[in-house]
Amino acid sequence: MLGPEAALAVLCGAVVGFVLGLIGGGGSILATPLLLAVVGLPPHQAIGTGALAVAVNAFANLVSHARAGHVRWRRAGVFALVGALGAALGSTLGKAFDGERLLALFALLMLVVGVLALRDQRAAPAEAQARPLAHELPRLVATALGVGLLSGFFGIGGGFLIVPGLLFATNLSMIEAVGSSLLSVGSFGLTAAVNYALSGLVAWGVAAEFVAGGVGGGLLGLLVARHLAARRSALRRVFAAIVLVVGVYLLIRAGRAAGWI
C-alpha cells in the first residue's frame, strides 16, 4: 500500500505522462511545479528530481521514435553533446541561485511557454532535402549550447526549446526534429539531475514513483489522443491555459516568499 507522499508522486507522474502522451510534448514543464506544490519538495530538490524523471521518460520515448526511423542520429548527437555541456553549466548556476528567485524565473518561463503553446504550430515539410552536416554545424552548435544552458538552469528537458532549435539550425522535418529532440531532452535532464544529485538534491524514491506514474499516464494519454486527434489544437490550448495559471501561481508564491508582494 502506497503512503500519501508516494501516492501523490505517482499521481503527479501520471499527470505529466498523460499530457505528454496526449499532446506530444510540454508535460515536463509541469513536473517541477507538481513536485513542489503537491508532493511538497523544496525548490532545488523539486528541480533535481524533476530533471531525473524527465530524462528517464525521454529516453523511453526515444526508443519508439528510433524504431519508427524518426531519429537523425548525427545531428541529434551533436545537439545532445554540445547541449549537455551547456546543461552542466546551467545546472551549476541554478544550484547557486536562491531557491525562491529561481522559482520566480521558472514561473516566468512557464508564462512564455504558455503563450508559445497558444500560437499555431508552423507547418514543416514531411521530408527534408539532404544537406551536409558541415553546413549546419556552426548554427547547430550555437543553438545547442544556448538551449542546453536554459534547460540545465531550470532543470527541464526543454523539448519545447529543442524542437524549434533543431528546426532553426537544420533542415529536419517536424517529425524528425521531434524524434531527434528526445536524445537531447534525456541528455540535458540527466546532466542536470547528476549535477543536482552530487549536492544531494534528488529525492530518488520520489523520482522512481514519479516515473512509474508517468508510464501509466503516458499510455492512457496516447489512447485518448487517438480518439481526440481532430481536437489536438483545442487540447493544446487547454494545456497552455493550465501552464499560464500555474505560472502565475508560482510567480505569486515566489513573490510572497521573497517579500515582493
Most confident among 45-54, 94-103, 129-138, 217-226 (mean pLDDT): 45-54
pLDDT, mean of residues 157-170: 81
What is the pLDDT at residue 127? 47
pLDDT tier at 128 (50, 70, 90 boundaries)? very low
Alpha carbons 56 and 163: distance in angstroms, whole number: 18
Burial classification of residue 233, based on how many CB atoms lie within 10 Å of its CB (0-12 exposed, 13-18 middle, 19 or more buried): exposed
Closest CA to 212 of 8, 3, 4: 8
Angstrom distances, CA of residue 117 to CA of 147, 166, 260? 18, 17, 28
Residue 130 has pLDDT above 70, yes or no: no
| More confident: 60 or 231 | 60
Write the CB contacts of 50 (distance below 8 Å, at least 6 apart in sequence): 28, 31, 32, 35, 155, 156, 210
* Average pLDDT for the chain: 82
pLDDT tier at 73 (50, 70, 90 boundaries)? very high
The Cα diameter of the chain in Å comes to: 56
- Written as one string, the DSSP assignment of 56-81 is HHHHHHHHHHHHTT---HHHHHHHHH
Alpha carbons 105 and 110: distance in angstroms, whole number: 9
Structural domain count, the chain: 1
SS3 255: helix
Tally the residues of the chain: 261
Q: What is the pLDDT of residues 176-195, one digit of tens each?
A: 887 888 899 889 889 989 99
Residue 123 has pLDDT above 60, yes or no: no
Residue 133: its H or E element? helix 133-154
DSSP label at 38?
I
pLDDT tier at 92 (50, 70, 90 boundaries)? very high
Q: To 5 degrees, how large is the angle CA 135–CA 125–CA 182?
A: 70
> What is the domain range of residue 92?
4-258
What is the radius of gyration, based on Cα positions, of the chain?
A: 17
What is the pLDDT at residue 151? 85
Share of the chain above pLDDT 70, in %: 86
Residue 126 has pLDDT above 50, yes or no: no
pTM equals 0.76
Ramachandran sector of residue 69 (left: φ over 0; alpha: ψ -120 to 50; beta: rest): left
Share of the chain above pLDDT 90, in %: 25
Cell reading at 127: 521530408
Q: Quickly count helices (H) and strands (E) in the chain.
A: 10, 0
